[in-house]
Structures are given as structure tokens and as C-alpha cells.
Amino acid sequence: MTDAELLAAYRDGDEDAFAVIVTRHKAPLFSFILGMVQDEGAAADIFQETFLRVIKNISRYEERGMFRAWLFSTARNLAMDHFRREGRGTISLDAPVDEEESGATMADSIAAPAAHGPEPSLEAKEDREMVLRAIAKLPAEMREVLLMREYSGMSFKEIAAALDIPIGTALARMSRAVARLRKDLCTPQNTKRS
Amino acid sequence: MHTAKHEEELILYSYGELEGDELKAFEAHLASCPDCSGKLATLRAAGTALKDAQVNPPRWIVENVEREAAGKFRFTFKYVFRTLTPVAAAVAMAALLILPQGEPQQAAQTAHWNDVSDTALTELHTQLETARYDIEYGTDYVTEFEIKAAGVEGRIPAQNKESKS
């Protein structure tokens, strides 16, 4: 069933339909949020609040085949609210975490078993951790486009609509993100030893 | 020559969003542009790293969300009680109060509460609030009857009227 069909079923009283929606979107959505806020505790809160808002507004949602956009833009706005409360726009993996929270970040997920495929080599893990650290250092507005494209599966046209920006702006932010990543990953301390 | 347009096209190309003549033109450019080639490799490395880093949220968070989604229906009372609850007992008792003396009842008969005494309504209200509290705070009780706003309407098991005590 499509998201639209599941939402319609849920509105008609089928609780299981909503569980299917959650199962379908939970990993990419949580990963997007975690990539934005870089804190598992905050990401869990934002994930829950995102779906609570969906539940609360389900009767007012008009299906235009854009549920994913609605879901991810809601999460993105909550992440931005989180940044404003925290008073920061960029997150570093080296930033101190709340001692009461697990503080797991996206780079920590590299230590956990991969969702797909065989266990990567140690060198591959280090390379990926290096890339994730570089992504975490990107300004939020650059990082959100990259993360949203990778995790939501939306096109850049859809992302631009969800973020309420011109597609040229979305592509420009992505382009600057790539340039920064390349510069960061190609610095002497990050280049592989031959 | 590398231009700003190539920067945008690189992004679209890397995600398969470039088509037709634009795709062909960019592929020709890519073959001779080390800047674009380097950035494409960086973008693909980022995509791989992010894909491998995809994780599920904690299980308890998912359960919270699912519980909240189920709880959306608590005030329409479309759930089913797993055990006999005070609410079901109150509904049955209130139904007995309005049924004619000695009249046999049909199975799953709808009861209309317009003539129910104030005492019975008050008790019913109390029992319903108790059930609502239980539902809201995590017990597994659910109910089978629909509650209308003003009167009370519900499906109850067939009951023969018993003498009032």
C-alpha cells in the first residue's frame, strides 16, 4: 500500500496502517534527524515529536503524494528549533554531550553492525568515520540538503519545495557542501598514507 | 571549461536526475574535468558513508509513537475490552434500568439512555472517566461501544431485566 492509502486507512480507524507507515520510514527519518542534531537523545525526542505532529494533524493533511516531504520537513523544522534552543548552527562530533544521555552520534553507528552487507574492514570503517565527521562539520543548511537527499529519496525539486527554497538554492547548497567535504577530506591529515 | 552550471549538473547527475541532451553533454564534460570527477567521487563517498550509517530509532520510541497513534481513537471508544471492566458493568446496569420489566432482550441490542436516571448517569460518567484514565495511561483496556455526545448509545450483551436492589 502507498503512504496515501495507509493514511486513509488510519483515518478510517486502522491502527495497524499507521504502524506500517512508522516501520517504512523510521530508519531513514531517524538517520536524517541524527545526522542533523548529532545526539541520539535529541534525535529520539524529535523523531517522536515528528510523528506526534503527524498524528495530531492527520485529519487536516491533504494527500498530494507528498507525505515524505511533510514528514521530513516537519522533522527538519524540529531540528532547527533544537538548534535555536541550543544556540548553535553547526554540530561537531567532538562537542561534549550531555552526560545523562547516551550521546550516541552518527559516527558511533559505524561501530554497530551495518544495516546491509558484510562487516566492513577496519580501513573502510575509518574512511567512513572520517567522511561522517566531515559531514557533521558542515553548516546546518548545507548538511540538511545532503542528508535529506540521501535519506528521504526525494528529488531536489521535491526537497526545494519541502524547504520552501528555489531548486537553484538547494543545488547551490549541495554544491557548496561537496566542495567543503572535498576540501576537508583532502587535507594532509585526512589523506591516506600510501 | 568548468562553469557554475556544471556544478549544479554534477549534483543532478550524481543522483540520476539529469536526462536527455543535458545528460550527454555533462558526461562529455565529466570525461575531461578533474574538478567534477573529484567532486563526484567525494559525493559518492558521502552517500556510501551515510547509507552505512543508517540506523533505527530506539525500540521504546517506536512503541511510544504506535501507542499514541492507537490512543487517538480512545474517545470514540471503538476498542474492545479484554476483561470485564467497571465501565462494561455500569453500561449493563444502566441498560437494565431503562429496559421494560420482564421483557426479554435481543442479542446486541442498542440501548438508548434518554430515560436513564441521574444517579445511573453519574455513576456511568465516573466509570467512563476511570476507563479513559486507564486507556490514556497505558493499560490495555479498550471498549467496544460508541459514545455519542449528549445521550449514551452502546451495544451491550443481551440482558434480562433483574429486580432493582
- Is residue B69 over pLDDT 80? yes
Which amino acid belongs to residue A86? E
If one counts the domains in chain A, the total is 2
For the full predicted model, state whether its pTM sits above 0.95.
no
What mean pLDDT comes out for the span B40-52?
94
Q: Out of B48, B55, B78, whose CB is closest to A27?
A: B55
Distances (CA, A) of B17 to A142, A165, B48, B154, B157: 19, 18, 18, 56, 61
Q: pLDDT tens digit string along A23-62?
A: 999 999 999 999 999 999 999 999 999 999 999 888 777 6
Instruction: Clarify whether residues A80 and A125 are in a common domain.
Output: no
Q: Which residues contact A3 (CB under 8 A, 6 or more apart)?
A: A21, A24, A67, A68
Q: In this structure, are A73 and A121 located in the same domain?
A: no
Coil, strand, or helix at residue A139?
coil
Examine the pLDDT at B141 and tell me if it is beyond 80. Answer: no
> Does the pLDDT at position A103 exceed 90?
no
Chain A within 8 Å of B34 (Cβ-Cβ)?
no
Say whether B155 sits in a helix, a strand or coil: strand
Q: What is the mean pLDDT of residues B131-147?
A: 46
Question: Which range marks the domain in which residue A12 is found?
Answer: 1-88
A104 within domain boundaries: no
pLDDT digits (tens, 9 = 90+) for B103-134: 444 444 444 444 455 555 665 665 565 555 55
- Cβ(A171)–Cβ(B8) under 8 Å? yes
Of B11, B17, B61, the CB nearest to A44: B61
**Do residues A68 and A137 share a domain?**
no
Is residue A110 a part of any domain in this protein? no
Q: Residues of A with CB below 8 A from B54's CB?
A: 27-28, 31, 109, 115, 151
Asked, for residue A178, whether it belongs to a domain, the answer is: yes
B9, B15, B37, B42, best to mutate vs chain A, most A CBs in 10 Å: B42
* pLDDT of A119: 65
Q: What is the DSSP string of B53-79?
A: T--PPPHHHHHHHHHHHHHTTGGGT-S
- How would you class A146 by CB atoms within 10 Å of its CB: exposed for 0-12, middle for 13-18, buried for 19 or more? buried
Does residue B19 belong to the interface with chain A, where contact is any CB pair within 8 Å?
no
| Choice between B79 and B116, residue whose per-residue pLDDT is larger | B116
The closest of A172, A146, A96 to B45, measured between CA atoms, is A146
